[in-house]
Structure 1
Amino acid sequence: MRWFGFGFNAFGQIHVHEKLVKGVRGDAANGVKVSGPTELTSQADRRGCCPKTGCQIRASWSRRASLHLDSDGCVCLAGFASSDSCSGLPVRESRGCRDALISESCLTLAFPDRLESWDLQKEETTPSWSMEIKTPPEGSGPPVSLPLVPGGYIATKPPLYRSLSPLLRAKSLALSSEHAILLSASGAVYTWGLGSHGQLGHGGLASEEEPRAVEALLGMPMSCIATGSWHSVCISDGGDLYVWGWNESGQLGLPSRGLRKALQLQSSQQAGAVHQDDSTSPAKEPQEGEQHEDVFISIQAFPALLDVTPSCEIRSVSCGSRHTAAVTTTGDLYTWGWGDYGQLGHQTLMSSDEPQRVEFFRQQQMLVADVVCGAWNTFAAVTKEEVAGS
């Protein structure tokens, strides 16, 4: 399995560009914006720490963590302040870990018997926080899957450990900086935290201090959840994708007035529109805007069904800060939302409020197996297609 990335690359999270190697601040022309899928490399990769078989990717805004599970387990970092010691965390200190969670401030590692959190903003020789854990007996419950841990979960900021009621029977958990979404063993979805952009899915903009079931989804078991900064998504057992929250950049895949206006303005500027053109249709354009005014969605406070592609189901999904990526059961990758750094992978820096297939992988006869979004970038795991796609 090979990993490809695209989007924000100012710190070499995707590949090390010339300016970064020389320690000079780069720009778009020197690899800060990667608009098409590029196989992952880093300075650490040159030391033999590259994503290989059994590798999983974890990402934050400025860093990428490669979790290697094909041997005894270890983590390598790429991106901001990465070095031989991985920002104060020697690779040898991560030996034996089975999962990892990375944020801008810390890297949390899950071992069979303990949790360790390393402060990435300091040069440390010992973890800044640790906790012993008791792994559930085989068959009595799911293994540790960060940010979930026995009895609770690991937050993105102190206090790192937060408890959860055992009645929730948590299966997976996704965190943004301001809200959380939980998937229970029965397939029910719970959300809590900041709700100012409709990201909790309860129909309003109120915040919730405690987990609350998303009533609109009750009776439809879900299999996968993900969250961006102010939007949330989930996949049903039947492969349908549901979205809710903020849509100012088209991250829900629903018509966005702000995005459409921005694209129209950009097109006009690129085409060199003149004032004479504006004077020929002053009445017609507002009339069309009024006709379609109710179509545009800024905030979707209830879960909405998104038809990504009518030909197949959705297998996995991930959210960036203001973009979303989904993998279909046929191995195609679709992306939509904010694209200013190329994080949609369509060889442009355009944003889109419509799901579009990343054609690179189909052209290279590759099947996408998984997708992981950083805040402003996207990482895709691919395999070679045995039979060429149509």
Structure 2
Amino acid sequence: MSPLPSDPDTVPVEAQRHCLSRRELFGVAGVTAAVVGAASAGALAGRASAAATATGGLDEPVPFRGERQAGIITPAQDRVHFCAFDMTTDSRADVVAMLKEWTGMAERMTAGHEAVHDGAVGLNPYAPPSDTGEALGLAAAQLTLTIGFGPGFFVKDGKDRFGIARQKPMLLTDLPKFPNETLDPARCGGDIVVQACANDPQVAVHAIRNLARVGFGTVAVRYSQLGFGRTSSTTREQTTPRNLFGFEDGTNNIKAEDTGTLDDQVWVAKGDGPDWMTGGTYLVSRRIRMRIEAWDRTTLLEQERVIGRQKGSGAPNGLIDANAHVRLASHQHQNGIRILRRGYNFTDGSDGFGHLDAGLFFIAFMRNPRTQFIPMQSELARHDALNEYITHTSSGIFACPPGLRDGEFWGSTLFG
């Protein structure tokens, strides 16, 4: 693999003049810098961004390559832009070309650089810019980009579009219908998913926007979801966050330090399925709408009974109701089943009837969705006291390969 243009130890001096970080590009891009600078006095200055404070390393890059994909056990960032794409071509060559281009872009953007390096920073006035520009001047903000492949990527309507049907994992099948669902088909499924997490929402949006832009003609956005305020902790150093019901969420989540549990519950082992998935994991997404107004009119005593915890301290109730959410979801009740949660709050305006369209965008990673998520969700869907206040409106399942070694691209082990 040729080195990144941003690596000063491996790039000729004359080429380094064009290898600018977003911050450097912000300072030298002439008219573009002036325009972005004017915007920063308004919209950008008004955006509450953890990255903008440049404290605690929250604006630093996260390595793109490694044994695992970033964005799974990486310390959960504050924002997400989750996007599912549908394939719009049957050309294997076009898909491979796009995935190679996406990989290069992802590696650059996670390092804090513009999406595409073309030696002239994409400012040819007679051509569309090679980068959309809204992240110029912004730090990397711990951006991670995680890719997964849905069932339809391998076989769609019985057709092996890209010659990889034999590589489809047996576990990669659409989730069954559960009680308490009002699924919107337009918000379900997808052939490819890219999860962009960052501590600056504009950085996450920029990443997905540019991948969608260069993918035009090969993929089209099926649906996307913006999320804020992580609803779980993925390292022991992170505090336990709260969801939009005001309760601490993900208290007993698997942590990055729990390597034994990760091997048992999250990472696909050799022999679990096709070789290309060894070291990878499965991603399940669920958009869970919360009936905010009904919840807000519920007494504190009832809220705590439904959840099974004290709202203020987060401590478990002295006597936990048989149908309390935390009891039914616990690994003690679930015969040892655990999943790595990585969800986010969302608010998507109003439903037109004066009710907030808000809730939890549930994201979880696991080794075997058939023996982990499906029995867990089946139990919750039947008995959880929380069901009076929530409904699931979106669903998806994706196979996420392991991390990339030098020279590999997203999907390289699939396409050879």
Using the size of structure 2 for normalisation, the TM-score is 0.27
Of structures 1 and 2, the one scoring higher in RCO (CA 8 A, sep 6+) is: 2
What's the TM-score once normalised by structure 1's chain length? 0.28
Q: Which has the higher helix share?
A: 2
Instruction: From the two aligned structures, give the one with the greater strand fraction.
Output: 1
